[in-house]
Every structure is written in structure tokens, then in C-alpha cells.
């Protein structure tokens, strides 16, 4: 089933839109605090379509994602009692408890790892606020981790150029279904 190929084509179209930078900024901000889709889905095609702008796009993504992380921190700090039932309802409670455990053991490094890896950064931003992590280390860890991740993505797309587009187009459906399968397996392993 070629579901992801259609999505890839649509995102490639959006990446050339005159307001693409605003979409990227909004997605980056929202993903860091409450939205489920990662900004990589806009950053990668935008970096492919305009390689000379890849570093700028990565910087915008890192900055707006960090600002979104601060918003997630504020949500956790001031509104945790209101959103915890939602975390439980959507099945994120085990991930939240893992985030809480990581903070208790590793603090700054837990935030850095969450900012760099594809684990749910938003849960860590909310957890950091709920656990009242010091704001300056939170922002520094977020900015470094998010920058490293998004500059890596932009760099790979920029260096890969048309070859990367061809490769992604060829394997996007396999990769998409593999990610879903891995996500389902991880969900059942955690439960």
C-alpha cells in the first residue's frame, strides 16, 4: 500500500510553498509541546528542495522547537493536574513515567537525549515543568539537542541532494510501515 508515497509527495509540495517557513515554524513549536508529528517531515523536504537554505531551515526549526519546549515546560509547571488525565487517556502514561524516572536520575542529560532522539520530546518538556527542572539547564539542553538533531537532518538532505530524494521516494513506504510496526511493538513491550 503506497500511503507514505502520497504523503511524501504532498509534503514535498508543501515544502516549496511560499509560506513553508511559517508551516515549519508552527509545526516545530507545536510538536515540542502537544502535536504528534515531528518537524523533520517538513525540514527534510524543504532542505532537499532548497539545499542552499538547509542550514537556515535547521536553525529556524531548532529555535522554534526550543520555544515550543518552553511552552511545554510552562504547561507542565502550571497545568499538569489538568493535562495528566489526557496523558493517561491517550496511552502516554508509561512514557511519561519513564521521562520522570530519567529526570530523577540524569536531569540535564535526560533532556538532551529527549531533544536529540525521536522519543516524544513533548513528554519530556511537560515532565520538566511538572518536576520543576531549573529553566536555564532545560533551555540549554533543549537548544543543543534540538540543534544537533535538526542540523544533522538538514545536512544529510543537503549533502544527499537528488540522490537522497530518489532514495527516499523509493523506500518511503517501506520505512513508513516499518516505523509504525516498531511503534506498535514498543507499545506492547512497554505495556
Question: CB–CB of 44/157 below 8 Å?
Answer: yes
| Mean pLDDT of all residues belonging to the chain | 86
- More confident: 171 or 74: 74
What residue ranges in 34-95 does DSSP mark as E strands? none
Mean pLDDT score, 97-120? 86
- More confident: 190 or 29: 29
Other CB atoms within 10 A of residue 144 CB: 17
- Taking the model in full, what pTM does it have? 0.81
Q: Is 51 exposed, middle or buried (0-12, 13-18, 19+ CB in 10 A)?
A: middle
- More confident: 43 or 104: 43
Quote the CA–CA distance of 151 and 61 in Å, as a whole number. Answer: 9
Quote the CA–CA distance of 170 and 157 in Å, as a whole number. Answer: 15
DSSP secondary structure, 129-162, as one string: HHTT--HHHHHHHHHHHHHHHHHHHHHHHHHHHH
Per-residue pLDDT tens digits for 4-61 = 777 777 777 777 888 999 999 998 999 998 887 788 888 988 998 889 999 999 999 9
Per-residue pLDDT tens digits for 126-159 = 989 999 999 999 999 999 999 999 999 999 999 8
67, pLDDT greater than 70 = yes
74, pLDDT greater than 90 = yes
Angle between helices 40-49 and 20-31 (to 10 degrees): 150
CA distance from start to end of the chain? 29
Amino acid at each position: 500500500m503506497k500511503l507514505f508515497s502520497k504523503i511524501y509527495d504532498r509534503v514535498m509540495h508543501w515544502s516549496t510553498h511560499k509560506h513553508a517557513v511559517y508551516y515549519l515554524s508552527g509545526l516545530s513549536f507545536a510538536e515540542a509541546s502537544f502535536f504528534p508529528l515531528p518537524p523533520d517531515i517538513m525540514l527534510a523536504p524543504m532542505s532537499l528542495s532548497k539545499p542552499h537554505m538547509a542550514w537556515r531551515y535547521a536553525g529556524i526549526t531548532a529555535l522554534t522547537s526550543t520555544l515550543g519546549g518552553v511552552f511545554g515546560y510552562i504547561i507542565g509547571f502550571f497545568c499538569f493536574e489538568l493535562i495528566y488525565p489526557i496523558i493517561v487517556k491517550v496511552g502516554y502514561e508509561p512514557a511519561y513515567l519513564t521521562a520522570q524516572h530519567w529526570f530523577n536520575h540524569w536531569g540535564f542529560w535526560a533532556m538532551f537525549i529527549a531533544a536529540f532522539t525521536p522519543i516524544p520530546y513533548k513528554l519530556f518538556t511537560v515532565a520538566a515543568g511538572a518536576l520543576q527542572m531549573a529553566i536555564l539547564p532545560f533551555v540549554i539542553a533543549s537548544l543543543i539537542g534540538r540543534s544537533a538533531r535538526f542540523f544533522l537532518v538538514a545536512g544529510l538532505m543537503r549533502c544527499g541532494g537528488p540522490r537522497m530524494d530518489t532514495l527516499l521516494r523509493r523506500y518511503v513506504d517501506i520505512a513508513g510501515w516499518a516505523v509504525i510496526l516498531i511503534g506498535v511493538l514498543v507499545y506492547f513491550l512497554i505495556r
